[in-house]
Structure 1
């Protein structure tokens, strides 16, 4: 009638990060096969390309090394789903770079946002460490990931949505003209 504990599948190892379960005690995040996931959720996916696979797209690698604000702007427009333009994001990136030299802090937030949107692992290390140590490689990896997910980053968010046959959620509703003479 009752199954023995030995017959049950072993639980994944706990990582030690407490999470309040709301029912008499703590549960813990478990290590999945490809990343960390909450119990009942799918494990996090791996990036489609490695951090140092820049030669998969030499053209983007050269653009990113010479002018990273262009690549960052293209990435930010897609991640923000068209709410900010490529030009505005690239200009802000450049301004932060010229005034403080800490543009990697700004760009690491977009990496974290991208990982959350697509369920990607935080690898090979923390987002800020990746951008601090190798900003061009991180931007190229993010660019390649979005490209492999079907985006043409040169087109921007709205043109990608039109190409895919979807109406962007950020488009305002059509307004009928008011009273005219």
Structure 2
């Protein structure tokens, strides 16, 4: 008895975008409604952005437990990794600490600009 083994091709994501942020940390005029939302209700905006990024909706609420918002900083680092954006953790820490609403707005604008859909697929091995 012989077995036929078929191997599915693995997905490859090639970054054809810039290795820089699509907008600056203070480019609020690029998307005024979102920046107003982030300014007036940053926790709600952060939760909405985190969910759109594919993470737990309530994750940003953990930021209230420290001087440096760990979730905001982690999301910036993760987004830089995912999209191949140059930067440093020190810069991410400064943005997350000093301009939290602006950092969330920048991340939201970047997700819209890149338009990379997140697809989670579950598969069973038989």
Name the counterpart of 1:52.
26
Question: Which runs of no fewer than 5 residues in structure 2 stay unpaired?
Answer: 1-17
RMSD of equivalent CA atoms? 2.7
Q: CA deviation at 1:61?
A: 0.6
If the length of structure 2 is used for normalisation, what is the TM-score? 0.69
Bigger CA radius of gyration: 1
How many residues matched? Answer: 107
Name the counterpart of 2:12.
none
Higher helix share: 2
Q: CA deviation at 1:138?
A: 0.8
Match of residue 133, structure 1, among 90, 98, 105: 98
Q: CA deviation at 1:48?
A: 0.6
CA contact (8 A) 2:63 2:69 kept: no
Higher strand share: 1
**In the TM superposition, what whole-angstrom CA distance separates every residue of 1:23-82 from its partner, at most 9, and x where no partner exists?**
xxxxxxxxxxxxxxxxxxxxx711111111001111111110111122222332243x3x
Match of residue 49, structure 2, among 72, 75, 79: 75
| CA separation of 1:115 and 1:133: change in aligned 2, threshold 3 A | same
If the length of structure 1 is used for normalisation, what is the TM-score? 0.50
Name the counterpart of 1:94.
61
Question: Which runs of no fewer than 5 residues in structure 1 stay unpaired?
Answer: 1-43, 152-159, 162-167, 175-181
Match of residue 113, structure 1, among 52, 74, 78: 78
CA contact (8 A) 1:71 1:143 kept: no
Bigger relative contact order, structure 1 or 2, given CA contacts below 8 A and separation 6+?
2
